[in-house]
Structure 1
Amino acid sequence: MAGTRVSYGATVDIPHADLTVDEDLAARLVRAQFPALAGPVTPVAQGWDNALFRLGDELAIRMPRREVAAHLIEHEQRWLPELQRLVALPLPVPIAEGRPTAGYPFAWSVIPWVDGIGGAHVSPHARDAYARQLAGFLAALHVPASADAPHNPVRGVPLVTRAAAIHARLDGLAGRLAADELAGLRAAWDAGAATAPHKGPALWLHGDPHPGNVVVAPSGRLATVVDFGDVTAGDPATDLAAAWLHFTPAGRAAFIERYSELRATDAALWVRARAWAVSIGTSAFAASDGSGPMARMGREAIEQLLRQD
């Protein structure tokens, strides 16, 4: 990975954009609203919800490309400065918060540039190198959230509220996954849904803990965690799905051990976490056409979920 200069992930199997977001538009917005930051603008990625551009050597521009997700940038602008106080890992806290204009109707951000490669482009074996580091990051993040934390209806909530949607998704994958694979995924989901729900205060959650939302440094360690648009509060098991979404059995064991050193856990928490991994992993797999990083990431998660270890 040495010498790789990809920040905040890379293009995945993405839905159609609601509007064209290109480097010319990004450069015009910076010149108009933040002239002191103006510089060369280079395309980096057209992601699921946002386009990313490099701005000079030290900055990046993050711009929504779909109306349905435009408010997620506002979540990041509001909450990332506060979440940064909780964790040691540098987060993409906005340096400048762009305003909607007649030519571009969404909020947008200028953020620090970080060298690395999106975790979706790294193998599960290589991801094992950051297992304990990611566990420590999540343990630091998982503290009682503010009363006005954003609500996400599909993350951090009791698993039973997602049962119909998950069973429908698994039904829809019948042509792409074998019957025994679907049975194993259903069993993992049902086991989690049958456990007691999270008790105690709602904790801060990243909300979307898949490998595409981490940046891996050339050393193999985490450079940053990105895409906090789904930030919410609730059951930490949602984020702990990372144990199956990122790692092999060795990395998963290291992740679970480290998190359990830092936070009180019980068996039910990890059963729920595995169910959340079914939810997030199959979402990635179902949303793709079977090719590209998103499909591969979902397939890797499914393989880990079906292991008997």
Structure 2
Amino acid sequence: MATGRTADTRPVIDAALVRRLVDTQFPQWAGLPLKLFDPAGSDHVIHRLGEELSVRLPRHAGAIGQARKEFEWLPRLAPHLPLAVPVPVGVGEPDFGYPWPWAVSRWLDGEVATVEALADSSEAAVELAGFLAALQRFAPADSASGEPGGDLAARPLADRDRATRAAIAELGGVFDASAMTRLWDAALSASGWDRPPVWFHGDFHTGNLLTSGGRLSAVIDFGGLGMGDPACDLTIAFTLMSARPRAAFRAALGVDDAAWLRGRGWALATGLNAYTSYAAVSPRIAAQTTRQITAALVG
């Protein structure tokens, strides 16, 4: 009898597999020790390779384009950005039953940014605005004109409409359903981006920021990198910042009312998605996304 459940087809990724992949495809690093990095997030299994490298293998099909995208673009972006970003040094091929491309990158020291450390820092907020402004200014000759295509094309906020309304209905007993619906309707109705496409990170939230010595040091995880409307990156204002730094961030980046409203919509949609997916099994994610959704509603 069918159960209605989808079989888990994610590949098994263990240290033995990673060792074989590295040793056969990158023999220059065969003698370096491997150590599992945990927690590594939901998209990749990460091992530290020696002192200076990391090995990242996608856990699921949704992350399989990241290795080649980062390998192509991050070395070109890095010199133009005020915070460090990962520097890929190789893309591995499927082998030994593992089905997808994978990456070796330079290791970035640091700790994941936290609300406790940075929420009230207007200095950090302005730094993040400066990072996004620099990213948006980046215009290599082969991407400065025309509409971006392939995995760089932006997905419109409206693509999330069905899932977001379903999440609002599901979580009406947890958050204010009427307020969420009003915000979502307003975000979808806001004026769209009417300028040439610019670069955005695409997953710009607290978990993808690193700190060192209490200061921002790096931005990681560029799997969502693309070109189009950068309002999706405004999510960071609602995942990390309290009210005063949020205002400083908006002023430093020069965000108009329509873009800010679209950004609130992105924060609401992604927060609801994460809450419905993970809150029941992770108190940490439940707290983070509650903060995000609540802040998006406040604005």
8 Å Cα contact 1:42-1:53 kept in structure 2: yes
Unaligned runs of 5+ in 1: 1-15
Q: Distance in 2 between matches of 1:87 and 1:252?
A: 21
RMSD: 2.4
Structure 1 residue corresponding to 2:167, chosen from 146, 166, 169: 169
C-alpha separation in 2, matches of 1:27 and 1:36: 13
User: How far 1:228 sits from its partner (Å)?
Assistant: 0.9
In structure 2, which of residues 194, 197, 203 is the aligned counterpart of residue 208 of structure 1?
A: 203
Per-residue CA distance 1:159-208 (angstroms, 9 max, x = gap): 34432332122112234x14xx2222222222211111110111111111
Q: Pick from 107, 123, 141: which aligns with 2:115?
A: 123
Decide which of 240, 244, 247 is 2:238's aligned counterpart: 244
Indicate conservation of the 8 Å contact 2:55/2:103, yes or no.
Answer: yes
Normalising by structure 2, we get a TM-score of 0.85
In 1, the alpha carbon distance for the partners of 2:279 and 2:160 equals 23
Match of 1:27 in 2: 19
Match of residue 111 from structure 1 = 105
In the TM superposition, residue 124 of structure 1 has moved relative to its aligned partner by: 5.2
> How many residues matched?
282
Residue in structure 1 matched with residue 34 of structure 2 by the alignment: 41
Measured against aligned partners, the alpha-carbon deviations of 1:231-276 in whole angstroms (never above 9, x if no partner) come to 121111111122112211122122112212xxxx322111111111
Question: What SS class does the counterpart of residue 300 from structure 1 fall into?
Answer: helix
d(CA) in 1 for partners of 2:117 and 2:185?
Answer: 28
Q: Which position in structure 1 is the counterpart of 2:5?
A: none
Comparing both chains, which one has the higher relative contact order based on Cα–Cα distances under 8 Å and sequence gaps of 6 or more?
A: 1
TM-score (norm 1): 0.83
* 3-state secondary structure, aligned to 1:222: strand
One of 160, 185, 192 as aligned partner of 2:187: 192
Contact 1:211 1:297 survives alignment (8 Å):
no
1:299 alignment counterpart: 290
Q: Could you tell me how far 1:103 is from its partner in structure 2?
A: 3.4
Aligned partner of residue 95 in structure 1, secondary structure: strand
Cα deviation, 1:68-111, whole Å, max 9, x if unaligned, reads: 32223222222222322431322112012212224322111111
- Structure 1 contact 281–299 (Cα < 8 Å) conserved: yes
**Conservation of the 8 A alpha-carbon contact between 1:125 and 1:247:** no
1:268 aligns with 2:258: yes
Q: Distance in 2 between matches of 1:151 and 1:103?
A: 25
Q: Secondary structure at the match of 2:294?
A: helix
CA displacement 1:109-164 (0-9 Å, x = unmatched): 11121222223xx22563443211111111111137625554467xx444344323
SS in 2 for 1:53: strand
Quote the sequence identity (%). Answer: 36
- Supply the AA of the counterpart residue of 1:59: L
Maintained 8 Å contact 2:238/2:295: yes
- Kindly provide the CA deviation profile for residues 194-223 of structure 1, in whole angstroms up to 9, marking residues without a partner as x: 111110111111111121111222x22222
Tell me how far apart the structure 1 counterparts of residues 151 and 106 of structure 2 sit (CA, whole Å): 27
Rg larger for: 2
Alpha carbons of structure 1 residues 124 and 236: separation in structure 2 relative to 1, 3 Å: farther
Which AA in structure 2 matches 1:235? D
Q: Partner amino acid for 1:216?
A: T
| 1:213 and 1:226 in contact (8 A); partners too | yes
Please tell me whether the aligned partners of residues 81 and 131 of structure 2 are also in contact (alpha carbons under 8 angstroms). yes
Deviating more after overlay: 104-113 vs 125-134:
125-134
